[in-house]
Structure 1
Amino acid sequence: MPEAQALFFVVILVLLSFYNVRVSGAQSTDPAEVNALRAIRSSLVDPMNHLHTWNSGDPCLANWAGIFCDAMSNDSYQHIRELQLLKLNLSGSLAPELGHLSHLKIFDVMWNKINGSIPKEMGNITTLKLLLVSGNQLSGSIPEEIGYLPNLDRLQIDQNQISGPIPKSFANLSSIKHFHMNNNSLSGQISPELSRLPLLLHFLMDNNNLTGYLPPELSEMPKLKILQLDNNNFSGSIPDSYGNMRPLLKLSLRNCSVKGTIPDLSGIPQLGYLDLSWNQLEGSIPTNKLSTNVTTIDLSHNFLNGTIPSNFSGLPNLQLLSLANNLLYGSVPSNLWDNITFGGNRSLVLDFQSNSLTTVPDAFDPPTNVTVLLHGNPACAYADRINIANFCQPQLVNKASGNTTRLTFNCSPCPADVDYEYNPSSPIPCFCAVPLGVDLRLKSPGISDFRPYIYDFEINLTSLLKLFVYQLYIDRYIWENGPRLNMHLRLFPSNSSLFNVTEILRLRRVLSGWEITLSDVFGPYELLNFTLGSYANEIHDRSSGISKGGIVGILMGVFAGVTALSVIFTVFIMRRRSRKGLSSERHSLSKFSIKIDGVKCFTFEEMALATDNFNSSTQVGQGGYGNVYKGILADGTVVAVKRAHEESLQGSKEFCTEIELLSRLHHRNLVSLIGYCDEQDEQMLVYEFMPNGTLRDHLSAKSVVPLNFSTRLHIALGAAKGILYLHTEADPPIFHRDIKASNILLDSKFIAKVADFGLSKLAPEQNIEGIFSGYVSTVVKGTPGYLDPEYFLTHKLTDRSDVYSLGVVFLELLTGMKPIAHGKNIVREASLACHSGKMFSIIDSRMGPYPPECIEQFVLLALRCCQDETDARPSMSEVVRELEIIWKMMPEAYITTPTEESIATSSDKVSKSVSKSSALRNPNSSSNVSTSDDVYSGMHTVSVTPR
């Protein structure tokens, strides 16, 4: 104890000494950089007084607005790492003293009104990575000195009035990945020396005054993905070498005055967007096959002749083919849409206006999702005779913009004290929260129609931002000249009404620092605005430096830190002792091992042999507990072996107790535990193997053999029976807490078996009077989209929480949709469809014919399970009983044995036997789902405390 006290006071003295040095010192920021900031401030005009914090104190200690510092240096000062002044309505000019910020990495003054020129002194900042001055009123030429910045990654000077040539020194920018210099007045020839740039991804130079020839050497850039040079005034032709730009995703040379013929571009394997419109191109369209990634081909307003080639018919992702205003002749092709799967918002525009096309095939009948424009062709002279008059009206191709419709279901008003609003994507209907506003613009998207890609964008952006999909809501989007896609987003907090300040600052840093890169199909983005709204004052307080009472707070923090260090030190010592004890315990396993009927204890060697030494080829999934392998035991039994990660290991006594609990769970609709292994610092659980994977796999749009209605109902009944067993017959009873389609596994006969008890909780015990409390108070865990709203809000877990989750699974079975997709919640969508009398419009058409009366009862049961109020939901026993009633209602023609063979043939059987029945429905709705998790990906052991 004396030693611990001595250590405690030593730590106090060290921290107080450190505090004294840092606080009482004259200045924390490098004086040269302080003077530079003051010069920068004096050259700027700040009508909104955003930079008022720059008037006093020290930049780093007082947290000047937009200043981010770095103390990692060899001297005793902090240094300015970032200068972030995005969209603050600043004007004035950029001071030459910027060059004194010798440690600066990010300089961002985008979307202000700053004029003057870019100071050549910025070429002195060798640490600079991001130079961002887009959207100002800067003029003059680009300083040659910028071309010698060794770490420059991104140069964004677009939407200014900058003139003069592209400096030849830019060929030295060995780290540059992004040249965004569009919408200026740059002139002269593109230097062939730029082909030496080893890492350049995006070359955006559209809307300038560039002249001269297109350098063939640009094809030598090893990484170039986007070459966008629209609206310049080049001479000569498109170099044939551009057909060898293998990394290229987008080639856009619209209105560039180029002549000659179109080169063969079939050697660009990933090409997705081609725009050569409004030029002087001649000759025929190349017949070589283009990449199947192509979404957009615009060759309009040229002098192309010949016929429309057939190579355009094999492009499954095509959204726009524009050949308008050329000299094409012959027949209008009728097979260009044959390889495209239409559904949802997928569409195709074929613009052949103002050519010399003379013939339309007799059977010309494009799908409703295809727009064909033929105005200005000789074929339209016979439009009435050949029934194509609707294709011969003059039209413009307009890109679809959108506002997302919000469904509120008569929600009560949100609190009015701050900017609360409903999160339309929340798993909890009518959930009020305060969002952040984000304005983004896709600067060079590789698509013409955003609608089919909305869900992909949501998944992409939220995964990069480390958010759940339901936290993102796309409020609106609109296409702008470029074409560029401007969108307003709302980011909502998760499991809470408010973001904390740390999370807000993280999100702003990630977006403004370009720490993420969107998928190639969306191209580069730019941050237009990050709106704090009601959070502004809190962020300001966080950034206002040492306020009144700050010294007391710091001292309290010091003592809290000392206490924490002492605790950490104590825990460290205890853990060392504990690890020795645990190691000793794990090496004396026999002390705790017990014989459990029906559960075999395997050796490590047996498990290694069964899984080919845990070869990656045998891995079938993974979860938070560990990896799952397909294994074959010595007797030929196929099993799933779950191997715990090191951090998931337990003491042998606890592990054996857990095995005992699992061994008591015996039901036809629960995944069975076969055995376990606990030796050599390894813990494994051995389950029966489920050859048909998860239910989610079979509801996926990529499922080769879709499930018919009979099989889906059979699966629902099996899953419900398994959960009913957990609630009422397991000893002790268990609440599952993570029921979802990927946790319902299917055996060789498609019998449903519930898996993954990793989040399970024991049901409440009786109190002293023999009465159950009815719920377990617990931290909210589970999967978004399946969470019981009342459990989410109150943290009270009941058996009806599992009923809610199973109701969501029922809706998945009925619709094929995922719980949350495209910003829509499956429960609300189903409720809206029922209330509006359009129940059958949401039914998954892939399951084939079905008896409508059974579907109707199944939908109503699912929605009862998903009621917001716990007491309004049926019990699990009622759910099982109602499913059995629906099963008995099924006409015999629909009932099939749920095997893989019957799934493939039952739809034909039903169609033939009831084809004349007026009751038969076959809706044309399309499922909107994506690939599920791997088999066993979520299976965990029961994390409960046994009685």
Structure 2
Amino acid sequence: MTRAKSFLAEVIFTILLCHFSQTVIAEVTAPSEVDALGAIKSRLIDPKGNLNNWNSGDPCTSNWTGVLCYNTTSSDGYLHIQELQLLRMNLSGNLAPELGRLSKLKILDFMWNKITGSIPKEIGSITTLKLLLLNGNQLNGSLPDELGNLPNLDRIQIDQNHISGQLPKSFANLNKTKHFHMNNNSISGQIPPELSRLPSLVHFLLDNNNLSGHIPAEFSKLPKLLILQLDNNNFSGTQIPDSFGSMSTLLKLSLRNCSLQGPIPDLSRVPRLGYLDLSSNQLTGTIPSNKLSDNITTIDLSNNLLSGPIPSNFSGLPNLQRLSLDHNQLNGSVPSTIWRNMIFSANKSLILDFQNNNLTNISNTLNPPANVSIWLYGNPVCSNASLLNISQFCNPETNNQTAGSSSNVTPSCQPCPTDEDYEYNPLSPLSCFCSLPLHVGYRLKSPGFSDFNPYVQDFEEYLSSGLELLLYQLYIDTFSWEEGPRLGMNLKLFPSNGSRFNSSEVLRIRGMFTGWLIGDSDLYGPYELINFTLGSYASVIPSRPKSGLGAGAVVGIVLGAVAVAITLSVIITMVIMKRFSTYSVATRKRSVSRIPIKIEGVKSFTFQEMSQATDNFSNAAQVGQGGYGKVYKGILADGTVVAIKRAQEGSLQGSKEFFTEIELLSRLHHRNLVSLLGYCDEEDEQMLVYEFMPNLTLRDHLSSKSKNGPLSFSLRLRIALGSSRGILYLHTEADPPIFHRDIKASNILLDAKFIAKVADFGLSRLAPLPEGEGTVPGYVSTVVKGTPGYLDPEYFLTHKLTDKSDVYSLGVVFLELLTGMQPISHGKNIVREIMVAYQSGMVFSVIDNRMGSYPSECIEKFVALALRCCQDETERRPAMSEVVRELESIWRMTPESDSVPSESMVTDSVKKSTPTSTSMETNTYISTTDVSGSDLLSGAMPTITPR
């Protein structure tokens, strides 16, 4: 054994010595690429000296500005350049042909400079290139045919230049290219029909060019095309191909001002179409009468020669934001039912622009909701405006595109430090918390909507998730519509816990933007990075060359490497021998850990049963999705309808939440907690099976997703009371007590009778156990987890989870019930907004008017309770027993109070269950017998009786 160890040590020593020697000698950039960078710099004009450090040291080891290299040497023994990132550096001059010698380059980024001249054909020889980003310069000349030889190209962005000539037919060879962004140039001629062979094409943006000829009908064969945007070209005398009516993947068709003629094709068979702009052409005939996709947000057919009546198919489009039919020759009646079946939230609106047509009468009385704007100026019907009571609709209107902004000024806070650019994060769970943000200029190049306001919250969730940040770290400072229409915005990204990002996080976030690693969105379309301002973070990006190594230093490093190699060889030998002796034991442990679990009293389902219940987990069966995975509606073999939560593949967090939720729910029984029916743990799958909640989540109803109409005040109060009782049970009745840790509106489910049930115990923690002397700590020390907007500020700051943390989260839910607002929306925190309104005596101005009439005194007490729950300091919040007591007191003040028994309900609510009972047997509840969903929606309350 001793000889074996000695031999092994010698082998390891030799390998390490060779490795260290090679590392010291070979970790330099390939000489051909160093020479290429020198040639590239010589062709550029750099007035701000951004590339001054390109004159000394090695490009890869001395951190040349904008030069990013592979981490390891290649087989030729050299380092190679992976990215050339020169975004917005005020560079001018020309692009050097030597760019083609960067043979392993993946990203070539010269965006937003002032570079002139043509695109070198030599770029077409960089077979590894994935992103060619040259937009926002002053490039001219034609597109080289050689660019069609890039087998790995994912994105070509040359928009906003002066490129001329025709689109090369060789581009049909770009089999991996998804994004063609070539808008705002002078590209001319016919679009090559050969491009219809592109198997990966997703976005084809060539608006604002000089294209002519016809639009290839063959584009209908593109298997993945989502956006076709060709506005402001000159396809004079041609028609929109009828074949476009069969484009099964298309989301957006924009052909504005293209000199198109003929009829509008029937697009009712385009199942996902969300945005249609055919305005400012010479289209004739009538508007097709078949209904478009329910996804449609924008229909612009203005400034054409369309005739006939406005068809009825525009009614019942749930997501419609704008219908522009102005400046045509339409006749007949003004429709009065287009907004039928639409649910309007505070941020949602609808514009119907019928100006300058030949509309002569009204199909019915025009009485649109407040969120609907109708423009009739220039129609004969306006000559009788007073008689028809439509004067308010007959005034001329202009562009309604809006800008938005948010203020992060917190008047009650002291100023942040001024030595660096510190600011308050207005969305932080901590009040008056100063931190150092990153500033990002960001633009949606082809959004699928005309009004951003209803989508702000969803966009914040999409982008923060894409950047792997928490929701409150992203703040939209301003947004505005720009020519295109495109949506530009200024973003602020704040650190999560500390006052500033560390250097690796800054580099990671920048890489997410510059590498286009944020997932595409059907609704928001492609984005572009306008700027990434480091500000006070500039020091974390090395920009000065490191000192070169002399011969003596190299010798010293080699000798040091030898010493290190000897030491490591001994250590590694010992580790290898130890690992070998324990390998079989570890292997046995790993095999045991995957044995399916068995829990007494909880049914174990097979994977086959789950698959059959959900039609093989079809998309039609999916009813939700969260961080854990997807949720499906299933029907078991016995006909029981269930909700199946399926952990996403390979999710370690999902595995932990899986066991936590089974462990807790298997012994929790209360009518205001969702019931666990079983689980599946086989074939590398983990699923939880619950009772199905047909009325979805409370958040769904507050965000107007429900088709049952808005919730009445009494029903909202009942939901608050039921949720509170469920949480009170967790805190006082469960054995041992439980802190939920993730109470939010989307975790409060509503059954068929609208009974509230608290769900999702994946983040829950057991309350602390007694210590040595019998005392019980008031908190659990834990890593902060939860949902931004609902997080207890003191828990966020101290990592001490208490029962009052749940009280804070529940208080936020109460504020949602009262106002319909999101916890965090467009730079506004619901707690702060309601607190300001309450203190200024304007609280009724923020109450959700969709719930109809309500007792004002009840509202005042409910708001006061909610704000007490949301106090920053733990000790100022009420206990859950007090919350339940006050809600019951408020209930007694409602018109339905006759149904409340005279005895104290809160006494029953906090009694401990008997030892033989596993449920809250003595707790009161609202009986659902003989109560229908429609009764509840109308405000009728059931009788409250002791259980």
Q: TM-score, normalised by structure 1?
A: 0.82
Counterpart secondary structure, 1:438: strand
The whole-number CA distance in structure 2 between the counterparts of 1:28 and 1:66 is 17
Counterpart of 1:787 in structure 2 is 791
What residue is the counterpart of 1:53 in the other structure? 53
* Residue matched to 2:765: 760
Q: State the distance in 2 between where 1:678 and 1:255 align.
A: 58
User: Which residue identity lines up with residue 878 of structure 2 in the other structure?
Assistant: P
1:807 aligns with 2:815: no
Asked if the contact 1:517/1:524 (under 8 Å) is kept, the reply is: no
Structure 2 match to 1:126? 127
Aligned 8 A contact 1:788 1:805 in 2: yes
Structure 1 residue 617 corresponds to structure 2 residue 617: no
In 2: Cα distance, 1:684 partner to 1:193 partner: 47
* CA deviation profile, 1:573-622 (whole Å, cap 9, x unmatched): 65753553687899999xxx9xxxxx9467xxx73479947866399999
Deviations 1:25-51 (A, max 9, x none): 3x5222111111111111111122222
C-alpha separation in 2, matches of 1:832 and 1:560: 65
Judge which range, 284-293 or 791-800, deviates more.
284-293
- What letter corresponds to residue 765 of structure 2 in structure 1? S
Instruction: Tell me what 1:245 maps to.
Output: 247
Amino acid of the residue matched to residue 617 of structure 1? T
Pairwise CA distance, 1:392: 2.6
* Alignment of 1:117 onto 2:118: yes
Q: Tell me if the contact between 1:610 and 1:631 (Cα under 8 Å) persists in the aligned partners.
A: no
2:837 corresponds to 1:833:
yes
Q: Which residue of 2 aligns with 1:74?
A: 75
1:456 Cα shift? 2.3
Equivalent residue number for residue 873 of structure 1: 877
Q: Partner of 1:223 in structure 2?
A: 224
Pick aligned residue for 2:313 from 298, 311, 327: 311
The range that moved more, 661-670 or 478-487, is 661-670
- Correspondence list, 1:658-697, <5 A: none
Structure 2 vs 1, CA of residues 643 and 561 (structure 1 numbering), >3 Å: closer, same or farther?
Answer: farther
Write out aligned runs for 1:87-106 (5 A).
Answer: 87-106=88-107
The answer to whether the aligner puts 1:577 opposite 2:585 as a matched pair is yes
- Per-residue Cα deviation, 1:421-464 (whole angstroms, up to 9, x for no partner): 12222333333322222211221222222122222222222222
CA distance, structure 1, for counterparts of residue 513 and residue 537 of structure 2: 17
The Cα shift of 1:789 comes to 0.5
In structure 2, the residue matched to 1:173 is 174
Q: Per the alignment, in what secondary structure is the counterpart of residue 488 of structure 2?
A: strand
Identity %, equivalent residues: 60
Q: Residue in 2 aligned with 1:425?
A: 427
| SS of aligned partner of 2:838 | helix
CA RMSD of aligned residues (A): 4.7
Distance apart, 1:194 and its partner CA: 2.4
Q: Contact conserved, 1:748 with 1:899, CA < 8 A, in 2?
A: no
3-state SS, counterpart of residue 264 of structure 2: coil
For the residues of structure 2 that align with 1:781 and 1:572, how far apart are their CA atoms?
39
Seen in structure 2, the aligned counterparts of structure 1 residues 781 and 902 have a Cα distance that, compared at 3 Å, is same
1:511 pairs, out of 506, 510, 513, with 513
For 2:312 and 2:694, locate their aligned partners in 1 and report how far apart those are by CA, in whole Å: 43
* Residues 199 and 65 (structure 1), Cα distance of their counterparts in 2 relative to 1, 3 Å cut: same
After superposition, the Cα gap between the structure-2 partners of 1:821 and 1:12, relative to the gap in structure 1 and judged at 3 Å, is farther
Amino acid at match of 2:790: Y
The alpha-carbon distance between structure 1 residues 528 and 389, as it changes in their structure 2 partners (threshold 3 A), is: same
Counterpart position of 2:381? 379
Code of the residue aligned with 2:305 in structure 1: it is F
For 2:931, the aligned partner's letter is: S
Alpha-carbon contact 1:649-1:683 (below 8 Å) kept: no
Q: Secondary structure at 1:54's aligned position in 2?
A: helix
CA distance in 2, matches of 1:626, 1:222: 28
SS of residue in 1 equivalent to 2:35: helix
C-alpha distance in structure 1 between counterparts of 2:645 and 2:229, whole Å: 51
Offset, 1:416: 2.6
Q: Contact 2:475/2:493 (CA < 8 Å) preserved in 1? A: yes
Residue identity in the other structure for 2:58: D
Select which of 883, 888, 899 maps to 2:928: 899
Aligned-partner SS, 1:522: coil
Worse-matched range after superposition: 787-796 or 384-393: 384-393
Give how far 1:816 is off: 4.7
Structure 2 residue matching 1:441: 3-state secondary structure: strand
Conserved in 2, the CA contact under 8 Å of 1:99 and 1:124?
A: yes
Taking the aligned partners of 2:681 and 2:359, their CA distance within structure 1 comes to: 76
Do the aligned residues in 1 keep the contact of 2:424 with 2:433 (CA within 8 Å)?
A: yes
The one-letter code matched in structure 2 to 1:902 is: V
CA distance in 2, matches of 1:640, 1:369: 36
Decide whether aligned partners of structure 1 residues 181 and 577 sit closer, same or farther in structure 2, where only a CA change above 3 A counts: same
User: 1:61 touches 1:545 (CA, 8 Å); kept in 2?
Assistant: no
Cα distance between partner residues in 2 of 1:683 and 1:299 = 50
Alignment match, 1:596: none
Write the deviation string for residues 675-699 of structure 1: whole angstroms up to 9, x where unpaired: 9999999999999998987665776
Q: Which amino acid aligns with 1:106?
A: I
AA partner of residue 175 (structure 1): K
Distance 1:4 1:448, change over 3 A: farther
Q: Name the structure 1 match of 2:393.
A: 391
Q: Contact 1:303/1:326 (CA < 8 Å) preserved in 2?
A: yes
Any residues of structure 2 matched to 1:461-480 within 5 Å, and which? 461-480=463-482
Shift of 1:163: 1.5
Alignment of 1:607 with 2:604, yes or no, is yes
Distance in 2 of aligned mates of 1:767 and 1:779: 24
Correspondence for 2:538: 536
In the alignment, which residue of structure 1 is the partner of 2:62?
62
Gaps of 5+ in 2: 618-622, 901-925, 943-947
Matching of residues 33-432 of structure 1 within 5 Å: 33-70=33-70, 71=72, 73-238=74-239, 239-361=241-363, 363-406=365-408, 408=410, 410-432=412-434
Moved more, 354-363 or 483-492: 354-363
Q: Does 1:858 align with 2:862?
A: yes
Q: Is the 8 A contact 2:382 2:394 kept in 1?
A: yes
Alpha-carbon separation, structure 2, partners of 1:798 and 1:546:
56
Pair 8,188 (structure 1): closer, same or farther in 2 beyond 3 Å = same
CA contact (8 A) 1:475 1:487 kept: yes
Read off the aligned partner of 2:329 and give its amino acid letter.
Answer: L
Q: Distance in 2 between matches of 1:179 and 1:629?
A: 37
Q: 1:411/1:775 Cα in 2 relative to 1: closer, same or farther (>3 Å)?
A: same
Instruction: Name the SS of the counterpart of 2:386 in structure 1.
Output: helix
2:266, 2:287 → 1: CA distance? Answer: 9
**How far does residue 381 in structure 1 lie from its aligned partner after superposition?**
2.9
Report how many residues are paired.
895
The 1:4/1:588 distance shift into structure 2, 3 A limit, reads farther
Counterpart of 2:179, as a letter, is: H
Distance 1:909-1:165 versus aligned 2 partners, 3 A rule: closer
Tell me by how many angstroms 1:230 deviates: 1.9
Q: Is the 8 A contact 1:135 1:160 kept in 2?
A: yes
Secondary structure of the corresponding residue to residue 475 of structure 2: strand
- Which secondary structure state, in structure 2, belongs to the residue aligned with residue 163 of structure 1? coil
Match of 1:798 among 799, 802, 806: 802
Distance 1:759 1:560 in 2: 47
Q: Deviations over 1:482-512 (max 9, x none)?
A: 1111111122222333222222222222221
Equivalent pair of 2:322/2:450 in contact (CA under 8 Å) = yes
* Whole-angstrom distance in 2 between the partners of 1:208 and 1:647: 47
Q: Does the CA-based 8 Å contact 1:189-1:211 persist in structure 2?
A: yes
The alpha-carbon distance between structure 1 residues 118 and 562, as it changes in their structure 2 partners (threshold 3 A), is farther
- Three-state SS of the structure 2 residue aligned to 1:398 is coil
| Shift in alpha-carbon separation, 1:818–1:30, aligned structure 2, 3 A | same
Residues 214-233 of structure 1: per-residue CA shift (max 9 Å, x gap): 33333333333222222222
CA shift for structure 1 position 115: 0.8
Counterpart-to-counterpart distance in 2, 1:587 and 1:280: 69
